[in-house]
Structure 1
Amino acid sequence: MNCKNCKKELLEESDYCNKCGAKIIRNRLTPKILIQQVNEEFWTVDNKFALTFIALFKKPESVINGYINGTRKRYIGVIPYYALALTVLGFQYFLLQNVFVDFFTSQTNALLENLPENQEIPNFNNLLVESMDKMNDYISIVTSITVPFWALGTWLTFIDKSKHNYTEHLVINLYANAQILLITFVLIILFAIIGFSDFLTASLLTTPLVIGYTSYIFKRIHKISYFNALIRFLGAFFIYLIAFSIISILIVLVIVIYAFATGKF
Structure 2
Amino acid sequence: MKITCKNCGHIFEGRYCNHCGQSANTHRIDAQFLWEDIEHGLLHYDKGILYTAKQLFLKPGYVIKDYIAGKRVHHFRPISLAIVLATLYALVYHLTHVNLIVKGSENSEAIFEKIIEHYYWFVFITIPIFALSTSLFFKKAGYNFWEYFIFEALKVSQRLIVHILFLPIILLLNHPSSTDLIIKSLLIVDIALIFWTNLQFFHQFPKFKIFYLTVFSYLLYSFITTVLLILFMLIFFKV
TM-score of the aligned structures, taking structure 2 as reference length:
0.82
Residues 89-122 of structure 1, C-alpha deviations (whole Å, 9 max, x = no match): 222322343xx3xxx1x625x21xxx5xxxxxxx
In structure 2, the residue matched to 1:78 is 78
2:126 is the alignment partner of 1:146: yes
* 1:155–1:165 Cα contact (<8 Å) kept: yes
TM-superposed deviation, 1:186: 0.8
Which consecutive residues of structure 1, in runs of 5 or more, have no partner in the other structure? 116-124, 260-265
Question: What is the aligned residue count?
Answer: 235
Q: For 1:206, what is the secondary structure of its paired residue?
A: helix
Structure 1 counterpart of 2:5, from 3, 6, 9:
3
* 1:191 CA displacement: 2.9
Q: CA deviation at 1:172?
A: 0.7
Secondary structure (helix, strand or coil) at the match of 1:164 reads: coil
SS in structure 2 at match of 1:16: coil
Letter paired with 2:76: I
- Alpha-carbon contact 1:81-1:178 (below 8 Å) kept: yes
Q: Quote the sequence identity (%).
A: 20
**Separation in 2, partners of 1:70, 1:178:** 19
1:164 is aligned, of 143, 148, 169, to 143
The aligned amino acid for 2:57 is F
Distance, in Å, in 1 between the alignment partners of 2:19 and 2:173 is 51
Q: Check if 1:242 corresponds to 2:236.
A: no
Q: Is the 8 A contact 2:86 2:120 kept in 1?
A: yes
Instruction: Tell me the secondary structure at the aligned position of residue 24 of structure 1.
Output: coil
1:92 alignment counterpart = 92
Flag structure 2 segments of 5+ consecutive residues without an equivalent: none
Residue 52 of structure 2 contacts residue 76 of structure 2 at CA under 8 Å; is this kept in 1?
yes
Distance 1:39 1:77, change over 3 A: closer
Task: Tell me which residue corresponds to 1:262.
Answer: none
Matches of 1:18 and 1:52, distance apart in 2: 28
1:200 deviates by 4.3
User: Could you tell me how far apart the structure 2 residues matched to 1:30 and 1:133 are?
Assistant: 39
What is the 5 A alignment of 1:54-69?
Answer: 54-69=54-69
Aligned counterpart in structure 1 of residue 101 of structure 2, from 98, 107, 114: 107
Relative to 1, partners in 2 of residues 1:225 and 1:186: Cα closer, same or farther, differing over 3 Å? Answer: farther
Separation (CA, whole Å) in 1 of partners of 2:19 and 2:196: 37
Q: Which moved more, 1:44-53 or 1:18-27?
A: 18-27
Instruction: Name the structure 2 match of 1:39.
Output: 39
Partner deviation per Cα, 1:225-261 (whole Å, 9 max, x = no partner): 555433321211111111111222222111244x8xx
Q: Which residue of 1 aligns with 2:183?
A: 203
For 1:176, the aligned partner's letter is K
CA-CA distance at 1:134 after TM superposition: 2.5
CA 1:48 to 1:225, structure 2 compared with 1: closer, same or farther past 3 Å?
farther
Aligned to 2:114: 134
Change over 3 Å in CA distance of 1:7–1:69 after alignment to 2: farther
| Distance in 2 between residues matched to 1:10 and 1:26, nearest whole Å | 14
Structure 1's 37 and 167: CA in aligned 2 closer, same or farther, altered over 3 A? Answer: closer
| Separation in structure 2 between the aligned mates of residue 53 and residue 207 of structure 1, nearest angstrom | 20
Work out the CA distance in 1 between the residues paired with 2:57 and 2:207. 15
TM-aligned CA distance change 1:6 to 1:96, over 3 Å: farther
CA RMSD of aligned residues (A): 2.8
1:3–1:9 CA contact under 8 A, matched in 2:
yes
Q: TM-score normalized by structure 1?
A: 0.75
